[in-house]
Amino acid sequence: MTKVSVIFGTRPEAIKLAPVIIELKKHNNIQCHICVTAQHRQMLDQVLEVFKIVPDTDLNLMTPNQSLSGFTVKAVEQIDKYFKKEKPDFVLVQGDTTTVFCSTLSAFYNKIPVGHVEAGLRTGNMRSPWPEEANRVLTSRLADLHFAPTEINKNNLLNEGIPDQSIIVTGNTVVDALFIALEMIKNNPPEIEGLQEGDLTYIYNGKFILITGHRRENLDEGLTNICYAIKELSFRFPDIHFYYPVHLNPKVQLPVKNILASEEVLSQNRIHLIPPQSYLPFIYLMYKSYLILTDSGGIQEEAPSLGKPVLVMRDTTERTEGLKAGNARLIGTDPAKIIKEVTQLLRDVDLYRKMVQNTNPYGDGKASSRIVNSVLKRIQK
């Protein structure tokens, strides 16, 4: 029996690998071995619970205030020990985290072939997103199979000299996971942590903007600008509510609470700062929202399938397909620009409709089966 090791450490990786794991477990000739680094412990565990995934190996590498260098050293060493003990025939990783790069490097040292799920995303700027762009580029140099979500991603890899025969265009597994989640919440809406009395009224009628903001390159000035823009928008649009699940990072919490939890803002009761949500409640918030303000990557891929416009509060994005299709707009973190773009979408019905009527350029919900079939072909050679 062939052993395929699936390694991940963060919430986004878990979400996007869950449907791949489900698909792997359908094959009797594959032993799917799950290893987590727990790079993000709490948020990772929430997703594992949703998809009923139990890790076979939990390296539990997260420590308070760990540096990227410290985590990298620890991860390479512990993953190396894991490989020597378990001896997998093939390794699957996903995305752009430090766990992805460390797993791929360690697998390379142990001469184990690696399949990179969500390969080929590029901004062309090593410092944005940081360090994710470098993690992706380095992983591509060492991986054996490259599962590119789109043709654009495939072309990025070809332009870097990756052999055509090692690249498979699959769609993005986040869409597979989204469809699974929608089935779960359709008849059983999840409880949303941190809601106050009356909040469900705003959520049910769909007149709210969902916000996420936590990327490293937006910390400090960028996030401060975002918060000032949200504050101003809340004054300009008294019929709109704003729900912001605030990341636990103290560098996110401080500016958000200083600007958006002031007495002046709280008195109007239109900006709602809630705890980070587990996967299903967050999908429900996306599903019910009017539009989404975000600096996240995965949300750009999920929102088109929900018919939600996305305004991306970043200067660059490695997910250009949504921009070209018209599902998303790249608006940066300048407060005036954010206010202008949100105002346009709230007032221009035709513009709003154009953004929500496009199909999802990131996938059709069948990426996982394409990935697993490609792994099987590789293993059987």
In the chain the first and final C-alpha atoms are separated, in Å, by 14
The distance of Cα 23 from the centroid of its chain, to the nearest Å, equals 20
Q: Which of 247, 270, 314, 370 is catalytic?
A: 247
User: 371: closest CA among 104, 11, 27?
Assistant: 27
Residues paired with 292 in a beta bridge = 210, 310
Active site residue 127: no
Q: Per the omega criterion (within 30 degrees of 0), is the bond before 255 cis?
A: no
Active site residue 214: yes
Q: Which of 118, 133, 217, 341 is catalytic?
A: 118
Active site residue 141: no
Q: Which of 40, 146, 214, 241 is catalytic?
A: 214
Q: Which of 27, 41, 216, 378 is catalytic?
A: 216
Strands (E), the chain: 2-8, 30-36, 57-58, 90-94, 114-117, 145-148, 167-169, 208-211, 241-245, 271-274, 291-294, 310-312, 328-330
Q: Name residues whose C-beta falls within 8 Å of residue 183's C-beta, 6 or more positions apart in sequence.
A: none
User: 4: closest CA among 36, 29, 32?
Assistant: 32
Active site residue 96: yes
Active site residue 247: yes
Task: Report how far residue 129's alpha carbon sits from residue 104's, in angstroms, rounded to the nearest whole number.
Answer: 20
Active site residue 118: yes
CA angle 75, 78, 79 (to 5 degrees): 80
Residue with tokens 């142990």: 110
Q: Which of 11, 13, 116, 132 is catalytic?
A: 132
- Supply the residues annotated as catalytic: 96, 118, 132, 214, 216, 247
